[in-house]
Structure 1
Amino acid sequence: MGTSFPNSKTLYLFSLLVLFIGSFSSPSKAFANESLTQCLINHSQPSHPITSAIYTPNKSSYSNVLQSYIRNLRFNTSDTPKPALILTALHESHVQAAIVCTQKLSVQMKIRSGGHDYEGISYVSISSPFFILDMFNLRLVDVDIEAETAWVQAGATLGEVYYGIGAKSKVHGFPAGVCPTLGVGGHFSGGGYGNMMRKYGLSVDNIVDARIINVNGEILDRESMGEDLFWAIRGGGGASFGVVLAYKINLVRVPETVTVFSVPRTWERNATEVVYKWEQVAPKLHEDLFIRLTMDVVNGTKAGEKTIRATFFALFLGDAQRLLSLMSNSFPELGLRSSDCIEMSWVESILFWTNFPIGTPANALLSRTPQVLTHLKRKSDYVKQIIPKDGLELIWRRMIELERPMLTFNPYGGKMGEIPATNTPFPHRAGNLWKIQYATNWDEDGDEAARHYIKLTRKLHRYMTPFVSKNPREAFLNYRHLDLGINHNGDESYEEGRVYGVKYFKGNFNRLVEIKTKVDPGNFFRNEQSIPVLPQ
């Protein structure tokens, strides 16, 4: 049943490298700062001054800019490697200057849009010196309701996208994540899923154009970049191929009234039967209905005892009466009542799914401050066969032993099963019943606490081995975890990249490598889990 972690040695080396890099001398950094700063200024356009967008460690605002978009406190410590410089690009020409200068000076560039990368690789590096190209100022959301499209810059948040759509229409939306502070750049380029994916697919299934700056500093759209590169940046991780400036998306139709509910069941309250039924029906329900299942450990009815709570969290694209009828026919075991159902607009449902109080105004979506900021570890899996009742209860017993890690099951089916696995780099389509997210959060600072909680997450992930996909054990790029492998971008880059690449992309990995080799043969755009080039 157990699964070894073949990358534990690599992860240990990564930890040592992080400490080593953190100890780099200030003269080295000062040289990098000075050279890079001067180069950026020399290569900027007088009509778009760049100086105010440059932050070096000697600036008082440097730490605030760096920390503003760190969404995992594991990577906000004194020992975390710091960038030699942060460029908060104010214009596309600033991005072009960054690409020219980092190649000229052999400085690694990290690209950050929202900072939600679970392993922090958009703002932390095992290479030094490095700098951050921060895209948060490039956040324009231009909605054209007549054409039912929108151009969205990479530095925008999903909340800004949803607010922009909702301000112009009550009957349009977009299928993407339910966390409003997610940055568009990373979310879209990794696939982008949300609670309308059974109806409309992923974010990448609804992208019709893009603007990207390539390794030569050229700004390309879909026509000029070609269909291969356009394919790659819709689910293959844009930061492996260039700097994505913006995506053009097709809006989707939503009803004026949608319905949501959140219904918990504990182990003592028949959770086994209800969850087992959910497994059978959730991927087959009407595509207007998405029911997420979250399982966590809570206090039981008796003092000192723990139990499992299964919470069924739903979005239905329709009114409550139709939902109740559908649930009565398809999933009566949940016992959904009219009092459980809350009708609202689609934009309001985003706030509900993000745990804002009912009645919160829509402009809360514009806030870039996360509701929760903590230390975290995430992992992912895919399930292709129903887990039997005794299997569910074995999993729950293990969860109670570990106590902290949570499981979230996101059902597939509907549109997800209709789109071919090769349409985009995201390959997890037909044949998958649901995707699993492993989530562990903690408040304690320090390496000891981090090692403890990461170990708990890995233990649960290992315990789930018999119940999930195999050969490869598939994973979701947007739920990135370095346990799958780290690319040091040296002589073994292709071999290292293939280890995690086939798990994220399955058969699409080979095409991604071919495209990468063609558009960035020198592997300039790289990170710890980027797409490698073909070996020489």
Structure 2
Amino acid sequence: MANIRSVDVDVEDGSAWVQVGATLGEVYYNIAEKSRTYGFPAGTCPTVGVGGHLSGGGYGALVRKFGLAADNIIDARLVNAKGEILDRKSMGEDLFWAIRGGGGGSFGIILSWKIKLVPVPQTVTVFRVNRNLEQGATALVHKWQNIAHTLPRELFIRVFMGRANTTINASFQTLYLGKSKELLNIFQSKSDFVTETISETGLKGIWNRLYEAEEPQIIFSPYGGRISEIGESEIPYPHREGYIYEIQHLAWWDEGTIEASNKNINWMRRFYRYMAPYVSKLPRAAYINYRDLDLGQSRNGTASYAQARAWGVKYFNKNFERLVQVKSKFDPDNFFRNEQSIPAVPA
């Protein structure tokens, strides 16, 4: 699919057809070539492919202003199990719903997406503030939890945390859709608070566990704004109202041995267990684009409904049931499958 990568921007229509082999960086570049006042709300990693990113939802730095990438898909071209090429009209609204956040590899082969471009100012403000433990990082991260999801939706502040020699560093990476002078006024006036946060004691427990790995990283990404306004069943991605931020935990290592892999994977699993009291429950939610095979997996894509539900409700909550219905209708023979695909059930 890497050779199917054209990006056709229509400024007058405020849309673009994007083939799935294009990267996010190529999409952003092509939009910027045609317009200084349009953008698209997708991820921040420029080498990520459009096909899978949008299939799983697509979280990015404009999410608080415009929602997920998948919230801004207006058409698609797909090859179904019969080899037919379908667009939104010919595939119908059920299948079109499922492919916008239901995960790749379950319903067909996406060839291209038609995306809705979003208005952005010609001037934006980007900056980063780094603080270590000795500079008060724990208190700052604790306060970030209270305010990040309540700030104006033009403001996105993400926190990256990891080891820095003998201390922990927190990097507050910020995007504001506007000029820096406007941003100063926001910081002076905003003081909303909520209670669903990790305590400073809990954060110190996170720091202790970061010391156990060689190159760990924890990312807190805020919710609030547009992503939280959209109903949880509008597309398959359900994690909306009530969430204040998302956590991504990673471990990096250069040594290519089984021992090194096991050491870092085991650290990730211990950290995941430690976080259980602080995160969502019943189910413990997960993001399909950060696919986690520890939640369960299918051998050769043949999991039963009961087996697939173990991970399906964590990714999709109540939307899992509708995804199963769509799968059973449009791919009853389970032609499209993977380790965590949506199962088809007999009629």
- Measured against the shorter chain, the TM-score band is over 0.9
Q: What are the superposed Cα offsets for residues 256-296 of structure 1, whole Å, 9 maximum, x if unpaired?
A: 00001110111111112211111100000000000001110
Q: Which amino acid aligns with 2:204?
A: E
Higher gyration radius (CA) = 1
Equivalent position of 1:327 in the other structure: 187
Q: Which amino acid aligns with 1:458?
A: R
**Residue 230 in 1 paired to residue 96 in 2?**
yes
Equivalent position of 1:399 in the other structure: 210
Q: What are the superposed Cα offsets for residues 98-133 of structure 1, whole Å, 9 maximum, x if unpaired?
A: xxxxxxxxxxxxxxxxxxxxxxxxxxxxxxxxxxxx
Task: Work out which of the residue numbers 303, 306, 312 in structure 2 matches 1:501.
Answer: 312
Task: Work out which of the residue numbers 310, 332, 341 in structure 1 matches 2:170.
Answer: 310
Any conservation in 1 of the 2:328–2:346 contact (CA below 8 Å)? no
Number of residue pairs matched by the alignment: 344
Task: Work out which of the residue numbers 86, 95, 98 in structure 2 matches 1:220.
Answer: 86
Q: What are the superposed Cα offsets for residues 356-381 of structure 1, whole Å, 9 maximum, x if unpaired?
A: xxxxxxxxxxxxxxxxxxxxxxxxxx
Any conservation in 2 of the 1:175–1:202 contact (CA below 8 Å)? yes
- TM-score, structure 2 normalization: 0.96
Equivalent position of 1:285 in the other structure: 151
Any conservation in 2 of the 1:232–1:238 contact (CA below 8 Å)? no
User: What is the DSSP-based 3-state SS (H/G/I as helix, E as strand, rest coil) of the residue aligned with 2:34?
Assistant: coil
Equivalent position of 1:359 in the other structure: none
Q: What are the superposed Cα offsets for residues 286-309 of structure 1, whole Å, 9 maximum, x if unpaired?
A: 00000001110112xxxxxx2111
Any conservation in 1 of the 2:332–2:346 contact (CA below 8 Å)? no
Task: Work out which of the residue numbers 513, 518, 523 in structure 1 matches 2:329.
Answer: 518
Task: Work out which of the residue numbers 261, 282, 287 in structure 2 matches 1:450.
Answer: 261
Task: Work out which of the residue numbers 153, 156, 159 in structure 1 matches 2:25.
Answer: 159
User: What is the DSSP-based 3-state SS (H/G/I as helix, E as strand, rest coil) of the residue aligned with 1:238?
Assistant: coil
Q: CA deviation at 1:404?
A: 3.0
Q: Which amino acid aligns with 1:433?
A: I
Unaligned runs of 5+ in 2: none
Equivalent position of 2:113 in the other structure: 247
Q: CA deviation at 1:328?
A: 2.6
Aligned counterparts, 1:300-449, within 5 A: 306-330=166-190, 385-449=196-260
Q: CA deviation at 1:513?
A: 0.4
Question: Identical aligned pairs, as a percentage?
Answer: 56
Q: CA deviation at 1:532?
A: 0.6
Cα 1:448–1:320 change in 2 (3 A) is same
Q: After superposing the two structures, state which structure 1 stretch, 490-499 or 442-451, moved more.
A: 490-499
- Rounded Cα–Cα distance in structure 2 between residues aligned with 1:296 and 1:462: 18
**Residue 530 in 1 paired to residue 335 in 2?**
no
Q: CA deviation at 1:329?
A: 2.5
- Rounded Cα–Cα distance in structure 1 between residues aligned with 2:125 and 2:228: 24
- Rounded Cα–Cα distance in structure 2 between residues aligned with 1:490 and 1:288: 41
Task: Work out which of the residue numbers 140, 158, 163 in structure 1 matches 2:6.
Answer: 140
Q: Which amino acid aligns with 2:122?
A: E
- Rounded Cα–Cα distance in structure 1 between residues aligned with 2:149 and 2:176: 14
Task: Work out which of the residue numbers 36, 39, 57 in structure 2 matches 1:191.
Answer: 57
Q: CA deviation at 1:403?
A: 4.6
User: What is the DSSP-based 3-state SS (H/G/I as helix, E as strand, rest coil) of the residue aligned with 1:410?
Assistant: strand
Equivalent position of 1:84 in the other structure: none
Any conservation in 2 of the 1:213–1:220 contact (CA below 8 Å)? yes
**Residue 264 in 1 paired to residue 264 in 2?**
no
Any conservation in 1 of the 2:213–2:264 contact (CA below 8 Å)? no
Q: CA deviation at 1:402?
A: 3.5
User: What is the DSSP-based 3-state SS (H/G/I as helix, E as strand, rest coil) of the residue aligned with 2:25?
Assistant: helix
User: What is the DSSP-based 3-state SS (H/G/I as helix, E as strand, rest coil) of the residue aligned with 1:432?
Assistant: coil
Q: After superposing the two structures, state which structure 1 stretch, 480-489 or 171-180, moved more.
A: 480-489
Cα 1:470–1:180 change in 2 (3 A) is same
- Rounded Cα–Cα distance in structure 2 between residues aligned with 1:455 and 1:491: 27
- Rounded Cα–Cα distance in structure 2 between residues aligned with 1:277 and 1:515: 43
Any conservation in 1 of the 2:214–2:253 contact (CA below 8 Å)? no
Equivalent position of 1:211 in the other structure: 77
Q: CA deviation at 1:405?
A: 2.2
Unaligned runs of 5+ in 1: 1-134, 300-305, 332-383
Any conservation in 2 of the 1:494–1:535 contact (CA below 8 Å)? no
Any conservation in 2 of the 1:208–1:248 contact (CA below 8 Å)? yes
Equivalent position of 2:291 in the other structure: 480
Q: CA deviation at 1:489?
A: 4.7
- Rounded Cα–Cα distance in structure 2 between residues aligned with 1:533 and 1:165: 38
Cα 1:172–1:491 change in 2 (3 A) is closer
Any conservation in 2 of the 1:405–1:460 contact (CA below 8 Å)? no
Q: CA deviation at 1:496?
A: 2.0
- TM-score, structure 1 normalization: 0.63
Any conservation in 2 of the 1:404–1:456 contact (CA below 8 Å)? no
**Residue 200 in 1 paired to residue 11 in 2?**
no
Q: CA deviation at 1:525?
A: 0.2
User: What is the DSSP-based 3-state SS (H/G/I as helix, E as strand, rest coil) of the residue aligned with 1:202?
Assistant: coil
Any conservation in 2 of the 1:405–1:456 contact (CA below 8 Å)? no
Q: What are the superposed Cα offsets for residues 165-211 of structure 1, whole Å, 9 maximum, x if unpaired?
A: 00000010000011111111000000001000000000011000001
User: What is the DSSP-based 3-state SS (H/G/I as helix, E as strand, rest coil) of the residue aligned with 1:191?
Assistant: coil
Q: CA deviation at 1:398?
A: 2.2
Any conservation in 2 of the 1:231–1:425 contact (CA below 8 Å)? yes
Equivalent position of 1:176 in the other structure: 42
Q: CA deviation at 1:239?
A: 1.6
- Rounded Cα–Cα distance in structure 1 between residues aligned with 2:306 and 2:292: 18
Q: CA deviation at 1:450?
A: 0.9
Q: Which amino acid aligns with 1:235?
A: G
Q: Which amino acid aligns with 1:284?
A: T
- Rounded Cα–Cα distance in structure 1 between residues aligned with 2:346 and 2:287: 25
Cα 1:490–1:208 change in 2 (3 A) is closer
- Rounded Cα–Cα distance in structure 2 between residues aligned with 1:182 and 1:397: 32
Any conservation in 2 of the 1:151–1:247 contact (CA below 8 Å)? yes
- Rounded Cα–Cα distance in structure 2 between residues aligned with 1:183 and 1:492: 27
